[in-house]
Amino acid sequence: MSIYDFTVRKSNGVRWPLYELEGKPLVIINTASKCTFTPQFADLQRLYEQFRNHVEFIGFPCNQFGEQEPGSNQEAESFCQINYGVTFPIFSKIEVNGEHAHPLFDYLKKAAPFRGFDETNVNEKLLKMMITEKSPEWLLGSSIKWNFTKFLIDKNGEVVARFEPTDEMDLLRQAIESQLNN
């Protein structure tokens, strides 16, 4: 199984098979418009512009974390474009955890489990405290911990890395470069 076995919905509701991205590395991100991590859109857009001829990025708005994506699919997409100049595709809102999680995200979590919190890192410690207060159910297992978790997929559709919202964007950039040098 690979990510090419999944179908998702564009922001307009049209079903879209991920096999259309076959042959290129891919970055999959769960996003939100009203999150502390929302400014990451600017960094993600810069990376997309840097690698756009060789890597695809796709975002999936999610309202599971503090209800930070309350609007419609079109409002989420517009927000990204207007406020951060995002030109990579933003798909329909989905759930990433729980019994209604999209099967793609169940697959991603299984293929790239959560590595745990590094409590010597101030940002990770703060994220863990926030999750403990707002959504303690997400502390367990490999669930997505918060908005802006990113997955890097190789050109064969295999998950190669998971990046938490607190990870430096440079780590993602280096991992992308590594995939392009393979």
CATH number of 23's domain:
3.40.30.10
Task: Based on the residue annotation, tell me whether 35 is a catalytic residue of this protein.
Answer: yes
Residues of the chain with confidence (pLDDT) below 50: none
Of all residues in the chain, the percent with pLDDT exceeding 70 is: 100
Q: Which of 8, 27, 29, 35 is catalytic?
A: 35
Count of domains for the chain: 1
Predicted confidence at residue 78, as pLDDT, reads 93
Element (H, E) at 172: helix 169-180
Judge whether 108 and 28 are in contact, CB under 8 Å. Answer: yes
Predicted confidence at residue 148, as pLDDT, reads 97
Phi, psi of 170 (to 5 degrees): -65, -30
Range of the domain at 144: 3-180
Predicted confidence at residue 61, as pLDDT, reads 97
Task: Give the model confidence (pLDDT) of 159-178 as tens digits.
Answer: 999 999 999 999 999 999 99
